[in-house]
Amino acid sequence: MCVQASCAQFWMLSTPHGLFPVPLGMALTYDPAFLAPAATPAHRKSVPYAVVPPAPSGAQTGEAEDGGQAGSRTLWKGWVCTECGRANCRYRWERWECRACGNRLLDAGAVVPSLGLPRRLDVLGEADDCSPGVRMTVHRLASTPATVVAYTLPRAGTVYHVLHDTAAAADAIWEAYQRAAADVPAAPLFERRELKSNTVKGGLLSQQFAINSGASYKYIVETLSYTFAESPPSVMDALELIRERVASVLGARVDFNEILSVMYREGQKMNWHDDSEPGLGPVVAALSLGSPATMSFRPKAARKPNAKASGASSKEPSLRRPLPVLNFALSHGDVVIMSGRAIQHMYDHKVVPLGLRVAATARVIQG
Ligand SMILES: [Zn+2]
Ligand SMILES: [Zn+2]
């Protein structure tokens, strides 16, 4: 056996049949000098590669590796402070900021104009499908030219997908949202908040950048809350557009008193969740802006009431995740209305955007 790494016999037993690895548990006699503690050799003391990642591309110069896309994935990576060396998450939409020394790195992300956004070609996209249990009806809306696809989730309520003939109103709101987010105000508008997690020690940030306006909403993360008066105009324009669309689809005005605006950069998504919380009204409506996204619904997993008491394997039921019963493609300017409180109790939904996207979700919260 040899202890020189470059030797063919390194940690191998020499036998009449050739070299063999030392079997596990084989008793070996060690040279006491080999076992004595020794300092790390000088040439091994430093890590042979850079442990500090390069500064995020796209900052200041605006030249990201993907051509400076404002929603680019590299733009939500962290940053090692050039002043003090602290590693920082990307907390804020408009810049990197060091939590230790306050050093900043501006993001030169440009506003993505509405003109370049992909437009819907067909009313029903290829991603759209629903299980046989979900009844689908389509009708035209005369007041604001639009096609409404209504999906009835059994015993829960109806999901309306409102597809407008023109996205002119949405175009202006989309650009205004980006300008509001890129603005560098004294207090952050769009921020990634800490998740309420009991499985991770230390802070774990939500993927998306969010701002809550109106009545405070618990969500799964602590979101900054602003009054309607303090909120950027884009938020109020989105709320008004949602109110109008809901009134024309449901035939009755809903006085939403809360709106959550979430900005997604490339690669960010909203995983399975429901929108319920105490005091939530029966109608939840959301406006989609920017990149297309896929929205899906699936029944909540049935909980076995006495799984533990009967000694049954607790793993078994939770492993069988229900499959989605409804998927549809959201385009820029679309509005989704979830009508029926039971939807939030019986179903989870998720949204997977294809790139930079803003979703504004309005609710009624009774205090
Ligand atoms: Zn610093
Ligand atoms: Zn939701």
- The verdict on residue 237 lying in a domain is yes
Q: Let me know whether 203 and 332 are in one domain.
A: yes
Residue 18 belongs to what H/E stretch? strand 18-21
CB 161 within 8 A of CB 147: no
Query: Does residue 71 register a pLDDT over 70?
Result: no
- The verdict on residue 101 lying in a domain is yes
Tokens 């400076």 locate to 68
Ligand nearest to C-alpha 260: 2
Q: Let me know whether 39 and 160 are in one domain.
A: no
Predicted local confidence at residue 67, as pLDDT: 42
CA distance 341 to 13: 71
DSSP 8-state class, residue 338: E
Ligand nearest to C-alpha 269: 2
Closest CA to 105 of 74, 138, 65, 141: 74
Residue 99 pLDDT grade (very low, low, confident, very high; cuts 50, 70, 90) = confident
Residue type, 191: E
Q: Let me know whether 82 and 212 are in one domain.
A: no
**How much distance in Å is there from the Cα of 208 to the middle of ligand 1?**
23
Residue 319 pLDDT grade (very low, low, confident, very high; cuts 50, 70, 90) = low
Q: Let me know whether 106 and 142 are in one domain.
A: no
CA distance 241 to 180: 18
Whether 226 has a binding-site annotation, put simply, is no
Q: Let me know whether 249 and 359 are in one domain.
A: yes
Please report how the helices 168-182 and 233-250 are oriented relative to each other, as an axis angle in degrees rounded to 10: 150
Q: How many CB atoms lie within 10 A of CB 52?
A: 10
How high does pLDDT run on average in the chain?
80
Total domains in the fold of the chain:
2
User: CA 100: distance to chain centroid?
Assistant: 26
Residue type, 24: L
- The verdict on residue 119 lying in a domain is no
Instruction: Report how far apart, in Å, the C-alpha atoms of 84 and of each of 50, 107, 335 are.
Output: 17, 20, 46
Residue type, 347: Y
DSSP 8-state class, residue 33: H
CB 193 within 8 A of CB 223: yes
**How much distance in Å is there from the Cα of 204 to the middle of ligand 1?**
20
pLDDT tens, position by position, 214-245 = 876 555 455 567 888 888 889 999 999 999 99
Query: Does residue 339 register a pLDDT over 60?
Result: yes
- The verdict on residue 117 lying in a domain is no
Ligand nearest to C-alpha 82: 1
Query: Does residue 55 register a pLDDT over 50?
Result: yes
Segments forming the whole domain that contains residue 86: 1-110
CA distance 196 to 218: 10
Query: Does residue 21 register a pLDDT over 70?
Result: yes
Residue 345 belongs to what H/E stretch? helix 341-346
Q: What are the beta bridge partners of residue 10?
A: 2
CB 338 within 8 A of CB 285: yes
Predicted local confidence at residue 311, as pLDDT: 46
**How much distance in Å is there from the Cα of 191 to the middle of ligand 1?**
19
Query: Does residue 155 register a pLDDT over 50?
Result: yes
- The verdict on residue 122 lying in a domain is no
Ligand nearest to C-alpha 271: 2
Ligand nearest to C-alpha 101: 1
Instruction: Report how far apart, in Å, the C-alpha atoms of 225 and of each of 46, 134, 254, 363 are.
Output: 46, 36, 21, 14
**How much distance in Å is there from the Cα of 100 to the middle of ligand 1?**
5
- The verdict on residue 15 lying in a domain is yes
Closest CA to 336 of 117, 165, 167, 158: 158
CA distance 289 to 331: 7
**How much distance in Å is there from the Cα of 344 to the middle of ligand 2?**
9
**How much distance in Å is there from the Cα of 273 to the middle of ligand 2?**
6
Ligand nearest to C-alpha 351: 2
**How much distance in Å is there from the Cα of 117 to the middle of ligand 2?**
23
Ligand nearest to C-alpha 84: 1
**How much distance in Å is there from the Cα of 136 to the middle of ligand 2?**
21
**How much distance in Å is there from the Cα of 318 to the middle of ligand 2?**
22
CB 327 within 8 A of CB 294: yes
**How much distance in Å is there from the Cα of 183 to the middle of ligand 1?**
22
Q: What are the beta bridge partners of residue 153?
A: 157
Q: Let me know whether 149 and 77 are in one domain.
A: no
Q: Give the up-direction half-sphere exposure of residue 277: CA atoms within 13 A in the CB hemisphere.
A: 16
Tokens 């020690």 locate to 201
Q: Which of left, alpha, beta for 311 (phi over 0: left; psi -120 to 50: alpha)?
A: left
pLDDT tens, position by position, 59-70 = 544 444 444 455
Predicted local confidence at residue 312, as pLDDT: 45
**How much distance in Å is there from the Cα of 49 to the middle of ligand 1?**
22
Whether 332 has a binding-site annotation, put simply, is no
Whether 91 has a binding-site annotation, put simply, is no
Q: Let me know whether 328 and 225 are in one domain.
A: yes
| Full strand arrangement of the beta sheet holding 293-299 | 129-130, 326-330, 293-299, 347-353, 270-273
User: CA 35: distance to chain centroid?
Assistant: 51
Minimum mean pLDDT range among 33-37, 41-45, 58-62, 159-163: 58-62
Minimum mean pLDDT range among 4-8, 113-117, 200-204: 200-204
Q: How many CB atoms lie within 10 A of CB 124?
A: 16
- The verdict on residue 9 lying in a domain is yes
Q: Let me know whether 151 and 97 are in one domain.
A: no
CATH number at residue 349: 2.60.120.590
- The verdict on residue 120 lying in a domain is no
Ligand nearest to C-alpha 103: 1
Q: How many CB atoms lie within 10 A of CB 132?
A: 6
**How much distance in Å is there from the Cα of 92 to the middle of ligand 2?**
22
**How much distance in Å is there from the Cα of 274 to the middle of ligand 2?**
5
**How much distance in Å is there from the Cα of 280 to the middle of ligand 2?**
13
Better-scored residue on pLDDT, 363 or 310: 363
